[in-house]
A = this chain, B = another copy of it.
């Protein structure tokens, strides 16, 4: 049976026209827009979130722009700096297949917005067709008259002088001198300025770009517990001790000095060594248990020193090219002054006691979480924003945010944008070791950088795939990975059982694949590897719960190797580039090879690491000559960036060895 229904009278000979239908609405004027803009890029979630860039980047905007028929289009990129700047109009050019492109330099920090305007250029269409008619010998006086009428119509409403000029040009278009008028730049310019833009198509909303300073994308972090840096055994370290020994950190080439929390530490339910539930009298406690009678998030732990000491440390770091990063842990110890001053910010149990942190049956009685949903939430959020503003006023411009995934998304989006409203140079690193979609969401809503799953990617294929995923659009438009081989919370199994070579491999992977990396020191360079118990990723005698003084002059120390990695990062433009690492084929399942490539500087760096570093492994490398633009080269000059030895390689059949003595191979490549 056919699926149609029929309302036909068979006796009718000439059916009547259909009557207008009920419910037909007046057609709105917007339906006259004929140009359509589609697939705009770069964008994040159709413009819900900004794309991230750094100062100096050129933002390349592309879109599919189509229209019915065959008319010429005039497409412009409209760019606005800040949230209330003036729109600037820039040209876009068609790249073929209806793809249009324009670009603008992100010349300063903060918000940028772009829009696209596209209209049918009737005059350009007429000019194009006039040329074709002339070429075919079919140009008539009427064709010229059509153009002249366009010019006269456009002149309506222009200032009188312009109107007169256009009337002259319209006359000339119909005279024997028509060709000079038709091809004049002046006429084109006048027609563009008089164009009817009422039916111009725009994006349904402007897209936004957040522009950070370069350190957002290119940073090397060194994490320390300041209290461990006293020289005298057993003494609680101070800011002054750390300042005295900053040369050591500086020599390794780091540019961010990240201090674990520096605030007074709670005494109630203080944790003892190795996370013991009861602390001994002299146990120093976890710095993340923030707040005691000496103060809360805006106070300094008295044993670390004074405000002057803090500022001296900050200035000393700055002299050495390092910025301080502070830890922002949005939680309280039970002794935090706010617990008494603002009980309305916390959840209470029916017996009146305050609700400590828990993930039943686990209990964290030394930590009291804020109740972000409390009735006084606005005051709470403003107070927490005030904490960040306080430290910003002390000259701190980088925050490492502890566990942001346990606080509401909307809080972070509000907090970061509110700080950025006045201080667009502030950077936030999200420590969100949580589920993948939550990690990405936090990046979208404003975090500058993010900790990642890098630490747990140890096999060749999964590591390569992960490097590509987190460094390539669309993810790279909103997410900036920060790779850490270790943290005070994470001593990965590879390091627990690994040789010095394995430490070198993990350091190289972190330092030379993406723009941001960091280590928890001196544990990393001193090869600390003892877990608290088998199967745990916690360090034995964790510095989180005790002072840990080390001999930094350990002969096996990797400090010189780390210094070399940071020097390569700084010295080779490819390692400072926003371009993602390019995985290279190498025919050994234990060898992972990638290149960094910066075309503008013609800088190419090749990295090969042996993921099984205690066994010698050999592989034949097949460079991706197209991606690396090596097709024109006859051979390649490869400079070993660890030994400075130089080799001349063929383009094909490059054999590389990784031995236990040389588990990573680093080369600068120059085509010859």
Instruction: Mark A residues whose CB is within 8 Å of B.
Output: 1-8, 10, 12-15, 17-18, 20-21, 23-24, 26-27, 30-34, 36, 38-39, 45-46, 64, 66, 68-70, 97-98, 129, 132-133, 135-136, 138, 142, 145-146, 149, 213-215, 298, 306-308, 311, 314, 317-318, 321-323, 349-351, 359-361, 372-373, 377-378, 381-382, 386, 389-390, 392-395, 397, 405-411, 414, 418, 421-422, 425, 435-438, 441
Which of these, B2, B382, B410, contacts A323 with CB under 8 Å?
A: B2
Q: B308–A410 contact, CB under 8 A?
A: no
**Which of these, B1, B142, B318, B410, contacts A351 with CB under 8 Å?**
B142
| Distance, CA A393 to CA B20, complexed state (A) | 12
Provide the residues of chain B in CB contact with A372, threshold 8 Å.
Answer: 34
Question: Can you sample 9 A-B contacts with CB below 8 Å?
Answer: A3-B215, A17-B390, A21-B389, A27-B381, A27-B414, A32-B408, A33-B410, A36-B441, A69-B405
Q: A2-B322, A381-B27 are in contact. Are A133 and B8 (CB under 8 A)?
A: no
CA distance A406 to B438 in the complex (A): 46
Once the chains bind, are B386 and A18 in contact (CB under 8 Å)?
yes
- Provide the bound-state CA to CA distance between A308 and B395, in Å: 89
Q: Report the bound CA distance from A382 to B394 in whole Å.
A: 68
A421 touches B306 (CB 8 A): no
Contact partner, A133, options B4, B69, B215, B360, Cβ 8 Å: B360
Interface centre among A68, A318, A411 (most CB of B within 10 A): A68
Instruction: Chain B residues near A129: list those with CB within 8 A.
Output: 360
Distance between A338 CB and nearest chain B CB, rounded to angstroms = 12
Do A409 and B323 touch across chains, with their CB atoms under 8 A apart? no
| With A17-B298, A408-B68: A8-B311 Cβ-Cβ less than 8 Å | yes
Chain B residues within 8 Å of A350, by CB: 142, 145-146, 149
Find out whether the CB atom of A97 lies under 8 angstroms from the CB atom of B8: no
Q: How far is the CA of A14 from the CA of B295 in the complex (A)?
A: 11
The chain B residue sitting closest to A2, CB to CB, is: B318
Complex contact A323–B373 (CB within 8 A): no
Closest B residue to A128 by beta carbon equals B360
Residues of B within 8 A of A408 (CB): 31-32, 34, 68
**In the docked arrangement, what's the CA distance between A14 and B294, Å?**
12
Nearest B residue to A422, CB-CB: B21
Contact A6 B349 (CB under 8 A): no
Selected from B21, B34, B321, B390, the residue in CB contact (under 8 A) with A1 is B321
Q: Is A7 within 8 A of B437, CB to CB?
A: no
- With a cutoff of 8 Å between Cβ atoms, the chain B residues found around residue A392 in the complex are 18
List of B residues within 8 angstroms of A146 by Cβ:
349-350
Of the residues B21, B322, B390, contact of A15 by C-beta under 8 Å:
B390
CA distance A445 to B244 in the complex (A): 68
Task: Report B-chain residues with C-beta under 8 Å of the C-beta of A145.
Answer: 349-351
A640 to chain B, nearest CB (A): 31
Contact B360 A132 (CB under 8 A): yes
**Which residues of the other chain, B, contact A360 by a CB distance below 8 angstroms?**
129, 132-133, 136, 138
Separation of A528 and B133 alpha carbons in the complex (Å) = 37
Q: By the criterion CB–CB under 8 Å, are B425 and A4 in contact?
A: yes
The interface residues of chain B lying within 8 Å CB-to-CB of A418 are: 21, 24
What separation, in Å, do the CA atoms of A394 and B10 have in the docked complex?
A: 10
- Contact partner of A2 among B46, B321, B435, CB < 8 A? B321
A30 to B372, alpha carbons, bound, how many Å?
13
Q: In the assembled complex, how far is the CB of residue A207 from the closest CB belonging to chain B, in whole angstroms? A: 13
A1, A393, A411: most-surrounded residue (chain B CB, <10 A): A393
Nearest Cβ on chain B to A451's Cβ, whole angstroms? 16
Q: Which of B20, B31, B349 contacts A411 (CB 8 A)?
A: B31
CB distance from A191 to the nearest CB of B (A): 18
Chain B nearest CB, measured from A53 CB (Å): 16
Contact assessment for A409 and B68 in the assembled complex, using a CB-CB cutoff below 8 Å: yes
A171 to chain B, nearest CB (A): 14
Q: Known: A4-B395, A359-B70. Contact between A378 and B18, CB under 8 A?
A: no
Contacts A32-B373, A66-B441, A145-B350 supplied; 19 other A-B pairs, CB < 8 Å: A1-B321, A2-B322, A2-B323, A3-B425, A7-B393, A8-B394, A8-B395, A13-B306, A14-B307, A15-B307, A17-B390, A27-B378, A31-B411, A32-B408, A34-B408, A36-B441, A46-B46, A98-B437, A146-B349
Q: Which of B132, B351, B361, B410 contacts A132 (CB 8 A)?
A: B361
Contacts of A215 in B (CB 8 A): 3
Bound complex: CA A381 to CA B32 (Å): 11
Cα A350 to Cα B174 with chains together (Å)? 12
Partner of A66, one of B14, B23, B373, B437: B437
**Across-interface contacts of A323 in B (CB, < 8 A):** 2-4
With A408-B68, A441-B38: A397-B31 Cβ-Cβ less than 8 Å: no
A6 touches B389 (CB 8 A): no
Inside 8 A of A30's CB, which chain B residues have their CB?
Answer: 410
**Residues of the B chain whose Cβ atoms lie less than 8 Å from the Cβ of A68:** 405-409, 438
5 smallest CB-CB distances across A and B, nearest first, come from A136-B361, A18-B389, A6-B395, A145-B350, A2-B318
Residue of B nearest to A427 (CB): B3
